[in-house]
Every structure is written in C-alpha cells, then in structure tokens.
Amino acid sequence: MTGTAPPRASAPAAPPERGPAPGPGPGSGPGPLPPTLRRNAPLVPTDSQASRALAAVIAILTFLAALCAGAAEIVASSAEQWQGTVAQEVTIQIRPNPARDIDADVARADAIARAAPGIAGTRVFSKTEAERLLEPWLGSGLDLSDLPVPRLVTLKLAETTAPDLKQLRASLVEALPGVASLDDHALWLRRLSTMANTFVGVGIGIVALVLVATGLAVVFATRGAMAGNREVVEVLHFVGADDDFIARAFQRRFFGLGLRGGIIGSGAALVAFALAGLVARTWRSGPAGEEIEALFGAFHIGWRGYASVLLIGVIASVVTGIVSRLTVRRFLA
C-alpha cells in the first residue's frame, strides 16, 4: 500500500528585487553642481590660499616701493625749495683788517650793493649776529671778541631784473681790495642738487628692484598654478583651446591679484604719509620738529607724490599680468 508522502515545507520566498532609487519628482530639477564643475567657474581658482599669499606679497612690495617713491619726492621738493631760497640771495663777506675800520668797510659794501642793478634789498649782520652764527660749531657762552670774525651782508636778488654779479664782484674788489668778497652760493647749489639727484636716483633704483622682485614672485606663482592645473590645461587643449586662450585666463587671474595687492599697498603708503605729516605737525612746536620741518618740510608729498604712489600700484598690477602671460606662454611652448 502506497502511502501518501508527507508534504514538504515550502522554501521561504525570495525578497523582491529593489528597483532603482526613485529620481526627483517631476517638479524638481537636477541638483547643484560642485563649484569646480559649474559653467561659470574660472579656469584658475582665484580664491585660494596661494592666491591670497601672492596678493599679500604684492601689497607689501608695492607698499615699500611707494614709500621709496614718496620719500624721494619729499627730498626732491625740499631740495627745490632750498635751491630757490638760496638762489635768491648772495652774500658779501668783509674780513676784519687791523689797519681798517670794519664798520666803515661794511657800510661801504652795503652802499655798493644797494646801487647795483638787480638787488632788491640788503641786510647787514651785526657783530653779535655774526658771532651767533658760529655757535653751532664753537658752542655758546664763548667770548669771541678776540677772534677775527667776518661781517656779512646778505643781498636779496630782484625777481624781475637779472643782477650782474660779475660787475658787482669787480666793484667790491676795486673799492675794498683784499677785504670784501662776494659769494653767490653756486658751490652750495651744485652740492645740494647732486645730493637730491642722488637720493632720487637711489629711490628709483629701489622701486625698480621691488618691481623686479614682484615679477619673480609672479613667475613662481604662475608656474605653481600651471603645475597644479596641468590636467585642466590638457583637457582644454584636447577640446581645441589654443595657448593664447589659456594665457589670457591666467593673465586675467594674476592681473586681478596684482591690482588687489597694488591698491592695498598704495593705500597703506598714503595712510603712512598722512600719519607722518600729522606727527610732524604735532612735533612742530618743539626743537626737534623745527629741525625735521627744515630738512623734510611738513611730509607733504604733493600731487606728484600722490600720482607716483598710485602709479606704482598700477604698474605692479600691469607687471603681474604681463609676467604671468609670458610665463604661461613659455610653459606651454
């Protein structure tokens, strides 16, 4: 008798296969792209740590160059004022002679100078005033009565009529032989001009060196950016972009960095000159302030100084853009 087999336990049902994750609903669009994949993203990142460091370096170098240019302008302006003041005066020196009356010689020299054409006025220094001029070298409180201190007569030249200093010198030698001499300060003016031109030349040289240093910093930064974006450059070449397109992209990026650094450096230099002028005006009441003002003026750089400082900022940005473009072209060659 054939028995009925016991029913087998049914195997557990397999879990249903999961379909693809449901996509966004019909009313929602695709999700936002990463910043590096957006269509309006720049070829070279502009807001990176390296970019901020380069902008800071350019700002510091521009600040130093602007300080040198402003200082050179201050010295040049002060030298012009000194030369203008000294060129408007000449000096007659009357040396004492035991056989002559020095007061009479001084009066005679003053009369000859007043009669000469082109002389607007004269001023006779007394014996006490002449001795006081020696105090910076000999000290104060000394009895100089036994020393043969020369007497001085300063002549102010007229602005409309040119004086004949050669004829005036000859008249003084003829009237007061071996006693009177005329000093037109030509040697002092030449030395002053040489000093000012030397200082301005040194300032221009320092500015040029700072701009060269800026260019070298941009070269290294551009090479680093090219090395970091090598894959991007290769893809651009693959899709048909030429070297000029890539060079323009890097030039725009570095020109913006140079312009930012140039504006910051130039602005800081202008603030520094404004603070220096404020400090000079505060110290003007003291002896030190008077000496500083006599040498450098009121630290006012004038419109030429302001133009020089701003021009240096513009030159720094232009140099940055041009150097980056040339570096990229050489890198891609």
How far apart, in whole angstroms, are the C-alpha atoms of residue 111 and residue 113? Answer: 5
| Structure confidence at residue 291 (pLDDT) | 60
For residue 21, the SS3 value is coil
Q: Which is it for strands 151-157 and 89-94: parallel, antiparallel or unpaired?
A: antiparallel
- Give the residues across from 91 on adjacent strands: 154, 183
| Letter string b/e over residues 236-267, b meaning 16 or more CB atoms within 10 A of that residue's CB | beeeeeeeeebbebbbbbbbbbbbbbbbbbbb
Is there a single domain that holds both residue 303 and residue 201? yes
Query: Do 149 and 106 meet the contact criterion of CB atoms below 8 Å apart?
Result: no
**99-115: pLDDT as tens digits:** 888 889 899 999 998 88
| Structure confidence at residue 6 (pLDDT) | 46
Percent of the chain with pLDDT over 70: 79
Is there a single domain that holds both residue 141 and residue 200? no
| Structure confidence at residue 290 (pLDDT) | 59
Q: The tokens 């990229």 sit on which residue?
A: 328
Q: Is the pLDDT of residue 276 over 60?
A: yes
Per-residue confidence band for 274, with pLDDT thresholds at 50, 70 and 90: confident
Q: What is the pTM of this model?
A: 0.67
What value does the mean pLDDT take over residues 247-251?
81
| Structure confidence at residue 187 (pLDDT) | 83
Is there a single domain that holds both residue 74 and residue 122? no
In a domain, residue 12? The reply is no
More confident residue, 291 or 185: 185
13 contacts: CB under 8 Å, gap ≥ 6:
none
How far apart, in whole angstroms, are the C-alpha atoms of residue 62 and residue 258? Answer: 10
Percent of the chain with pLDDT over 90: 8
Is there a single domain that holds both residue 110 and residue 151? yes
What is residue 134's DSSP assignment?
Answer: T
Is there a single domain that holds both residue 206 and residue 72? yes
In angstroms, what is the C-alpha Rg of the chain?
A: 40
| Structure confidence at residue 51 (pLDDT) | 80
Is there a single domain that holds both residue 64 and residue 205? yes
Q: How many CB atoms lie within 10 A of CB 76?
A: 19
- Residue 91 is inside which H or E element, if any? strand 89-94
Query: Do 120 and 158 meet the contact criterion of CB atoms below 8 Å apart?
Result: yes
More confident residue, 26 or 200: 200
Query: Do 45 and 232 meet the contact criterion of CB atoms below 8 Å apart?
Result: no
183 contacts: CB under 8 Å, gap ≥ 6:
90, 91, 92, 93
Is there a single domain that holds both residue 208 and residue 274? yes
Is there a single domain that holds both residue 161 and residue 211? no
More confident residue, 255 or 46: 255
Q: How many CB atoms lie within 10 A of CB 54?
A: 25
Query: Do 143 and 172 meet the contact criterion of CB atoms below 8 Å apart?
Result: no
Is there a single domain that holds both residue 114 and residue 243? no
DSSP for 224-256, written as a single string:
HHHHHTHHHHHHHHHTT--HHHHHHHHHHHHHH
Report the chain's terminal Cα–Cα distance, integer Å. 98
Is there a single domain that holds both residue 59 and residue 204? yes
Per-residue confidence band for 10, with pLDDT thresholds at 50, 70 and 90: very low
How far apart, in whole angstroms, are the C-alpha atoms of residue 21 and residue 16? Answer: 14
What value does the mean pLDDT take over residues 196-222?
89
What value does the mean pLDDT take over residues 214-232?
83
For residue 153, the SS3 value is strand
In a domain, residue 8? The reply is no
In a domain, residue 13? The reply is no
Among 178, 210, 225, the domain boundary falls at 178
**137-149: pLDDT as tens digits:** 777 777 667 777 8
**32-73: pLDDT as tens digits:** 545 544 555 555 655 677 788 888 999 999 999 999 888 888
| Structure confidence at residue 28 (pLDDT) | 46
| Structure confidence at residue 293 (pLDDT) | 59
Q: Considering its fold, how many domains does the chain have in total?
A: 2
Least confident of 153-167, 194-208, 285-299: 285-299
Q: Is the pLDDT of residue 22 over 80?
A: no
Half-sphere exposure of 82 (CA within 13 A, CB side): 22
| Structure confidence at residue 298 (pLDDT) | 58
Is there a single domain that holds both residue 109 and residue 173? yes
Work out the widest C-alpha separation in the chain, in whole angstroms.
Answer: 176
In a domain, residue 5? The reply is no
What value does the mean pLDDT take over residues 143-156?
81
In a domain, residue 134? The reply is yes
In a domain, residue 286? The reply is yes
In a domain, residue 70? The reply is yes
Among 146, 178, 210, the domain boundary falls at 178
Which residue range(s) make up the domain with 129?
Answer: 96-178
| Structure confidence at residue 8 (pLDDT) | 46
| Structure confidence at residue 62 (pLDDT) | 92
For residue 206, the SS3 value is helix
In a domain, residue 246? The reply is yes
Q: Please tell me which of 33-42, 198-207, 247-256, 286-295 the model is most confident about, judged by mean pLDDT.
A: 198-207
| Structure confidence at residue 325 (pLDDT) | 86
Is there a single domain that holds both residue 239 and residue 287? yes
How far apart, in whole angstroms, are the C-alpha atoms of residue 299 and residue 322? Answer: 34
Q: The tokens 């940055």 sit on which residue?
A: 320
| Structure confidence at residue 42 (pLDDT) | 58
- Tokens representing 93 are 């020196």
Among 113, 144, 178, the domain boundary falls at 178
More confident residue, 321 or 83: 321
| Structure confidence at residue 63 (pLDDT) | 93
CA 100 to chain centre: 57
